[in-house]
Amino acid sequence: MKKLIPLIISILALFSFLIVPAQAEQTITITKGGTYTDLVIANDDANAAAVTISTSDPVILENCSVTSRGTAISADSGADVTVRNCYIECQNPLIAGMYIPRAIKASNPKNLVVQNNYFNYGGGIYVLNFSGDGSLAQTINISFNKFQNIDGHASTGADGGVSAVYYPQQAVQFDKVYGIKNCEISWNEIINEPYKSRSEDNINMYKSSGMPDNPIRIHDNFISGADGGGIICDGNAALSGERGTGYVEIYNNTVTNFANYGIAIAAGNNNTIHDNIVVNSGQFPDGGLTNALHVGIYITKAYSPDYSYGNNNNAYNNLCGNLGSATVRNDYYLKSGYYGSDTKNNLSIQPVTAAAITPALELEYCNIWNESLTANNIKVGIKGMSSMEILGDDTVFLSNNTDKEMSGRVYVRKADGVEIFDNVKVAPNGTLELIYTKSPGPVKVFFWDDQLRPFFAAAEKN
């Protein structure tokens, strides 16, 4: 193991979020199809998208870094977009009353593939309508991504703070995506830290549907929800003839530490919840409680009138342990008359007591999900992104998980400024320790490689 002492120390103005190299572009508009790699976009304009895709030709964004105070990536109608192996961070807009933006907004795309990305803070992926044919070449696939701290708070302005007001944000939101085939949302890791995030739902299917023989498949995701719910088939008091959420299959997901609900069918028809694990102690690490303890898994008609609702929604073979309050279990709410004949064999974690559901149990099921990644040879997040950890009061530990040397610059942001390590090199599958000057208060560390890509996950210590 090597140790490196800082070569350059620079005291800079402090920012609330990511430190971005000066070489970054402000915004970019893509009007031609093609593969765009190694872009570094840092957008300070809250009223503009960092990347705008204005072509129907296939566009691939790969190995890019996008940080933005406005929407990070915006795709116009008819777009065919693949976002792969990218780092995307939404930032405080610094305009009072404006909400923290979304990472990806796609309006009526014909194809959207989002895989192996790292979404750090802010809103996630929003898809409004769909214009593809549902073939494998024209569908929506959102898989193998890491989402950290979904947040919809409103900014308090130039001070970089947020108010108590928030806009409903999700990691994945479908809005009137009707009759899609071959659609998959799978193997995503969504982790919301208490007091650093504010989501409504983490995956929301709103008035969206698959097909009877080809449902929307939401499977094998891990969600730690904090102040938000898990996965929901949603709608509203639909007018007669308006389409509802249907043919959605939710299975093999693990949902922990959430507010309101774990997995739910609140609207629509022909939706199924099966073979999921839902565990909620309702407790944060500091002993605080989530903001709305309610139910683990539910099926009910939540809106009235809702002419889209059918009694052929089902839940089966699920395992649940949820605190409905600090002292009472509330694992399931399956409203009589609102579900089909296949709703059966839904088990509660034993014993059925509040004391049985603990943060340690949540962690146990998190570890089981991580083991399933290894068993299925799945890499979640940016391929090649290695790990970085703060040890003690003055050490950054870097671990290169790739077969190539990683070289670049490390920024250590502290209360009294920023300490910079130049020409950092970590051998293939090797490790390195950086010793920085001790400082009171929180510390956050970023790594940028020689192509200006943050391929070590940021580390933070409060």
DSSP string, 324-356: SSSS-B--EEE-TTSS-TT-B--EEPSS-SGGG
Q: How far apart are CA 83 and CA 102, in angstroms?
A: 15
Q: Which of 448, 459, 461, 407 is nearest to 430 (CA)?
A: 407
Q: How far apart are CA 391 and CA 21, in angstroms?
A: 25
Q: How many CA atoms lie within 13 A of 367 on its CB side?
A: 6
Q: How far apart are CA 348 and CA 18, in angstroms?
A: 43
Neighbouring residues of 327: CB distance < 8 A, sequence distance ≥ 6 = 354
pLDDT digits (tens, 9 = 90+) for 157-182: 998 888 888 888 999 999 999 999 99
Q: Which of 30, 41, 46, 144 is nearest to 93 (CA)?
A: 46
Q: Which of 92, 232, 233 is nearest to 166 (CA)?
A: 92
Instruction: Determine the pLDDT at residue 452.
Output: 58
Instruction: Determine the pLDDT at residue 285.
Output: 77
Instruction: Determine the pLDDT at residue 310.
Output: 78
Q: Which residues pair with 456 in a beta bridge?
A: 386, 447
The fourth-level CATH superfamily of domain 389-461 is: Immunoglobulins (2.60.40.10)
Radius of gyration from C-alpha coordinates of the chain? 22
Domain ranges of the chain: 20-375, 389-461
Give the phi and the psi of residue 77 in degrees, each rounded to 5: -55, 135
Q: How far apart are CA 72 and CA 40, in angstroms?
A: 12
pTM as predicted: 0.85
Q: How far apart are CA 305 and CA 309, in angstroms?
A: 9
Instruction: Determine the pLDDT at residue 6.
Output: 42
DSSP H or E segment with residue 366: helix 359-375
Tokens (6 digits) for 280: 């909620």
The DSSP secondary structure of 178-232, one letter per residue, reads -S--S-EEES-EEE--TTS-B-SEEEEEES-B-BTTB-EEEES-EEE-TTSEEEE
314 neighbors 339 (Cβ within 8 angstroms): yes
Helix, coil or strand: residue 439: coil
Annotate 17-28 with b (16+ C-beta within 10 A) or e (fewer).
bbbbeeebeebb
Of the chain, the end-to-end C-alpha distance in Å amounts to 26
pLDDT beneath 70: ranges in the chain: 1-24, 238-242, 385-386, 450-458
Instruction: Determine the pLDDT at residue 102.
Output: 96
